[in-house]
Chains A and B, each alone.
Chain A
C-alpha cells in the first residue's frame, strides 16, 4: 500500500498580487523543502502569505496574483510552476491533493458527494468508477463515517467534521501522495479538531504521504507536524524540527508567538500579546526586515538590509540579531 512518498522542494518562490499600487509580493523568496513522508506545518497570522504559498504548490494562485519567480519541484511531477493547461489540471487531484478549510463550502451544494466523486473520476479518466466508489467508501469508513450514506448526501446534510473528512477523502481518493491541508481544523469544535488531527496523522502514515498543514494555530502544528515553518509578511522567518522550534524559538517573532499562547495552568496574565499588528500587502516594508516594526531586538541594520535565511544545525532563521549572536 505504501508507495514511495515524493519530496517537494520550493525554491526562491515569490508570488505577487497586482494592486493599484503596482505588483506587491505576498510571498517573497521562500525556500522550503518538504522531506518525503514528513508532515510540515506552516504557521502565520492572517495575511502572512501562508495560504498563497499553499496554493502555489498547485500552481493555483488566483488572479490578480501570479507566481513571479521561483520553482516548486515535486518528485515524479517536475516543476509545478512550469505546468499549464491540461497537464496542470491532471496533476491537481492526482498528484497533489488539496483540502479546504472545513468552514468553507468545498462541495457543490446541488450535487451529492457521490456524484461529485464520479465527476472527479471522469475528469481524471478513471475507468473503474465502481472501484473509485469502493475506494472512497473505504477511506470514509477508515475515518469513521458510513461511506454509503455520506456518498448519498448533499453538503447541507453533513456536519463540519464530516465535510472535512469528505474533503480529505476527495483529496486522497485518486491516490495523491502530496497533500496540502489549508486550515484543516478551523471552525471545528475541540473534539472534532482532535479527531481530524488524529485522522490526518494516521492516514498520512498509512498511505505514505508528504503532507503540508497550513494553520494559524500553533497547537495544531505541535500536534501533527514533524517540521515547522513560521511565516511573517510573506517571508519564511524560521523553520526547523517542530520540537526544537517550539522548545527553543530563535526568531523574535516565533518567541513572541509562543509567549502569546495562554497556558492551561498558571496565570492568564503570563500570556503576552505581541504588540502592534501584522503588515498587510500594502504596508510590508520594501527593504529591510519585515518584522522590525514589532521587534524588540531591532538594530540599525534591520531598517535597510533584509536578513538572509541562515541554516545552522537543521534550523533556519532569518534574523540579523540572531545571526549576530551566533557569530559572536
Chain B
C-alpha cells in the first residue's frame, strides 16, 4: 500500500507542475487572441455617455477584475486564484464563477461520453477477441472491416449521418438539444425519458466512432498473445480451454486499459464537434461558445479542465497497472 501511496504522491506532484505549465501557456495564448470583450464593453459604456472613470468602475464591478492591469499582473492574479480553485468570473455571464459554469456543463459531457466509451469498449473488446480467433474466416474479416470502416469515418461525419438517418429519414429521435422543455426537471418518467431520448444519438456517435479503434486494438493484442509461447505451453499441459481463454483475455486486455483511461480524459475535450452538431450543452459546446464570445476566463477554465482530466486519467491508468500487472509492481519494489 505504501508503494501505491508513494507512486500516487509522485504522480500528483508531477501532475501539478504540468497543470501549472499548461495553465500558463493557455493563459497567454488566450489573452493574445485578437479581440477584447473588456475593451468592447468599456467603449460601449463610454459611447453610452459614461465618463471613462465611471465606465472602468462599472466594468470592474461587473466582471470583478481590472481591464487596465498589465498582462503579468492578470497572470499572477489568475494563478493565485487557481490555488483557491477560483477560475475567475465568466465574461459573457457576468457574476457567474467559471467553475460553476463548467460543472454545470460537465455533467452533460461526462455522462454521455462515459456511457459511449464504456459501451464501445465492452462491445469492441468482446468482438475483438472473436475477430482475432476467427481472423482467417469470414466472421473475422467482417469484424475487422467493420472496425476499420467505423474507425475511418470522422466523428462529425458519423454524427451528421446519424442525424440524417434517425431524425430526418426515419424521424424517431430528436435531432438536437438535451431535453424537452415541456417536462418538469426532476425524477419523473417524462423528464428522464426525454433525457434518454436526447442522449441516444450523441452516445451512439461516441460509441460507434470509438468501437472501431477498440476492436482493431483488441484484435491485434489478442493475436500477439495467441502467438505467445505460454498459451501453447498451457495447451500442451492440458489446461482447460476456459482457463486458457482467461489467460489470453487478461494478457491481451492489459495494454487497452491505458488507451481506455486516456480516451476518457481526452473525450472531455474531443466532444466539441459532437456537442456542436447535437446542440448538446456540454463542455465542448461551452468551449466553442466561449471562443466565439472571447470569454477569456471561460476559455482558460475549459482548457484547464481538459488538461486536468487528461493528467488525472494518466495517473489513474498508471496506478491501475500497479494493481493488475505484477511486473510493474515488482519493478518498483526493486528500485
CA distance A100 to B237 in the complex (A): 11
Are B234 and A108 in contact, with the CB atoms below 8 A?
yes
Are A93 and B230 in contact, with the CB atoms below 8 A?
no
Are B238 and A123 in contact, with the CB atoms below 8 A?
yes
- B238: shortest Cβ distance to chain A, in Å? 3
Nearest-neighbor residue (CB-CB) of B236 within chain A: A98
Are B243 and A122 in contact, with the CB atoms below 8 A?
yes
Are B232 and A123 in contact, with the CB atoms below 8 A?
no
Are B233 and A100 in contact, with the CB atoms below 8 A?
yes
- B329: shortest Cβ distance to chain A, in Å? 9
Are A123 and B240 in contact, with the CB atoms below 8 A?
yes
CB-contacts of B223-265 with A (<8 A) = 228-230, 232-241, 243, 247, 250-251, 254
CB-contacts of A124-140 with B (<8 A) = 124
Identify which of A89, A108, A174 contacts B251 (C-beta below 8 A).
A108
Q: Which residues of B contact A93 (CB under 8 A)?
A: 236-239
B34 at the interface (CB under 8 A from A): no
CA distance A148 to B114 in the complex (A): 44
Are B243 and A119 in contact, with the CB atoms below 8 A?
yes
B326 at the interface (CB under 8 A from A): yes
A286 at the interface (CB under 8 A from B): no
Classify chain B's interface size.
Answer: 20 to 34
Residue with the greatest number of chain B CB neighbours at <10 A, chosen from A60, A110, A157: A110
Are B235 and A105 in contact, with the CB atoms below 8 A?
no
Nearest-neighbor residue (CB-CB) of B250 within chain A: A110
- B76: shortest Cβ distance to chain A, in Å? 50
Contact digits for B263-282, partner A, Cβ 8 Å, 1 yes 0 no: 00000000000000000000
Nearest-neighbor residue (CB-CB) of B232 within chain A: A62
Residue with the greatest number of chain A CB neighbours at <10 A, chosen from B233, B238, B254: B238
Residue with the greatest number of chain B CB neighbours at <10 A, chosen from A89, A112, A155: A89
Q: Which residues of A contact B233 (CB under 8 A)?
A: 98, 100, 104, 106-107, 167
- B226: shortest Cβ distance to chain A, in Å? 10
Q: Which residues of A contact B254 (CB under 8 A)?
A: 110
Contact digits for A82-94, partner B, Cβ 8 Å, 1 yes 0 no: 0000000111111
Are B237 and A120 in contact, with the CB atoms below 8 A?
yes
B330 at the interface (CB under 8 A from A): yes
B325 at the interface (CB under 8 A from A): yes
B327 at the interface (CB under 8 A from A): yes
Nearest-neighbor residue (CB-CB) of B241 within chain A: A89
Q: Which residues of A contact B228 (CB under 8 A)?
A: 105
Are A156 and B330 in contact, with the CB atoms below 8 A?
yes
CA distance A106 to B233 in the complex (A): 5
Nearest-neighbor residue (CB-CB) of A109 within chain B: B327
Are A106 and B229 in contact, with the CB atoms below 8 A?
yes
Identify which of A90, A104, A112 contacts B238 (C-beta below 8 A).
A90
Q: Which residues of A contact B324 (CB under 8 A)?
A: 110
A72 at the interface (CB under 8 A from B): no
Are B238 and A94 in contact, with the CB atoms below 8 A?
yes
CB-contacts of A167-184 with B (<8 A) = 167, 170-171, 174
Nearest-neighbor residue (CB-CB) of B243 within chain A: A119
Nearest-neighbor residue (CB-CB) of A170 within chain B: B237
Identify which of A112, A119, A154 contacts B239 (C-beta below 8 A).
A119
Are A89 and B238 in contact, with the CB atoms below 8 A?
yes
The 10 closest A-B pairs by CB, nearest first: A93-B238, A92-B238, A106-B233, A104-B229, A123-B240, A93-B237, A98-B236, A123-B239, A154-B326, A89-B238
Kindly list 11 other residue pairs between chains A and B, CB separation below 8 angstroms, not including A100-B229, A119-B234, A119-B239: A60-B232, A105-B228, A106-B233, A108-B234, A108-B247, A109-B327, A110-B254, A122-B243, A123-B239, A123-B240, A156-B330
Chain A residues engaging chain B, CB cutoff 8 angstroms: 58, 60, 62, 89-94, 97-98, 100, 104-112, 116, 119-120, 122-124, 154-157, 167, 170-171, 174
> Could you list 22 examples of A-B contacts with CB < 8 Å?
A91-B238, A94-B238, A98-B233, A98-B236, A100-B233, A100-B236, A105-B230, A108-B230, A108-B251, A109-B326, A109-B327, A110-B251, A110-B254, A112-B326, A119-B234, A119-B240, A119-B243, A123-B237, A123-B238, A124-B238, A154-B327, A156-B327
